[in-house]
Amino acid sequence: MKILLKNNKEEIGKEIASRIVELINKKPNTVLGLATGSSPITTYKELIKAYKEKKVSFKYVTTFNLDEYVGYKREKDSYKYFMHHNLFDEIDIKDVNTHFPDATNPLAYDKEIELKEIDFQVLGIGADGHIGFNEPMISFDSKTHITKLTKQTISDNSQYFESIDAVPKEAVTMGLSTIMKAKEIVLIATGKNKRSAIKALLAGESKECPASILNRHPNVTIYLDKDADPREN
């Protein structure tokens, strides 16, 4: 596992986006695994910039998002909306090539992913160590499934909703074993509230920290800022 300490989110976004652009230029039909939340936003901004500067085209790119809420009240609250607003509507990706897990048939997502193979997976991490919506104690063998969100996740994500009551209580998420199938994985963690999750991840495998499964993967890079780095004082 590689750990790269960067000055800020902007630097992290620039570096990850340039790796993605390089990958797509080598392999135009690259398959990306994408995350929502605040962590990947600078990466998406840089990808849009690269597209507008004609440095890359997403015409043949396929994407699989990590997760989606179940039972959201407004379209605006969905992760599909988030992805359109923060990336898809600004680039030349084809809508049919963008995928989200379907709560009515979660396992179909694993089959689709197995057929295509994710080349490059972007991850954030929850303060409780979750990746996707794989909350503490989830099986390391889990596939795409419906899950209840923990109190902590509901509270962390309430900033994006009208009120805490509007946060959906369930989501459908790639499982840990689904995520582990990606050929290459990058995880972004910035800010003090991520430090203890990164500490647990670096301490080795444990079910309390679902992200710690990444210790088993041969090609993972963790991008940190100083605040999220447990090796700093």
Question: Could you list the active site residues?
Answer: 67, 128, 130, 135
Could you say whether residue 126 binds ligand PGA (CB under 6 A)?
A: yes
Segment interacting with ligand PGA (CB under 6 A) among 12-20, 34-42, 167-175, 218-226: 34-42
Is residue 124 near ligand PGA by the rule CB under 6 A? yes
Q: H/E element holding 22?
A: helix 9-26
- Residue number, 20 or 187, with CB nearest to ligand PGA: 187
Segment near ligand PGA (CB under 6 A); pick from 95-103, 124-132, 171-179, 218-226: 124-132
Helix or strand run (H / E) with residue 70: strand 67-70
- C-beta closer to ligand PGA: residue 56 or 224: 224
Q: Is 98 in the site for ligand PGA (CB under 6 A)?
A: no
* 125 lies in the binding site for ligand PGA (CB under 6 A): yes
Choose between 37 and 101: whose C-beta lies nearer to ligand PGA: 37
Least Å distance between CB 41 and ligand PGA? Answer: 8
β-bridge pairing 2-5 and 31-34: unpaired
Alpha-helical (H) ranges within 27-170 are 41-52, 79-86, 106-116, 151-157
Residue 37 as a binder of ligand PGA (CB under 6 A): the answer is yes
- Least distance in Å: CB of 18 to ligand PGA? 20
The tokens for 217 are 């993967």
User: 83 CB contacts (<8 Å, ≥6 apart)?
Assistant: 34, 36, 63, 65, 98
Please report whether residue 33 would count as binding ligand PGA according to CB under 6 A: no
Long-range contacts of 74-82 (CB under 8 A, 24+ apart): 77/160, 77/161, 77/166, 77/168, 79/36, 82/36
State how far Cα 52 lies from the chain centre.
23
Quick one: 38 or 105, whose CB is closer to ligand PGA? 38
Supply the DSSP symbol for 224.
E
Stretch that binds ligand PGA, among 9-17, 68-76, 110-118, 121-129 (CB under 6 A): 121-129
- With a CB cutoff of 8 Å and minimum separation 6, the contacts of 127 are 152, 156, 193, 194, 196, 197
Q: For residue 5, list its beta bridge partners.
A: 224
Is there binding between residue 106 and ligand PGA (CB under 6 A)? no
Nearer to ligand PGA by Cβ, of 13 and 126: the residue is 126
For position 38 contacting ligand PGA by CB under 6 A, the verdict is yes
Interface ranges with ligand PGA (CB under 6 A): 37-39, 124-126, 130
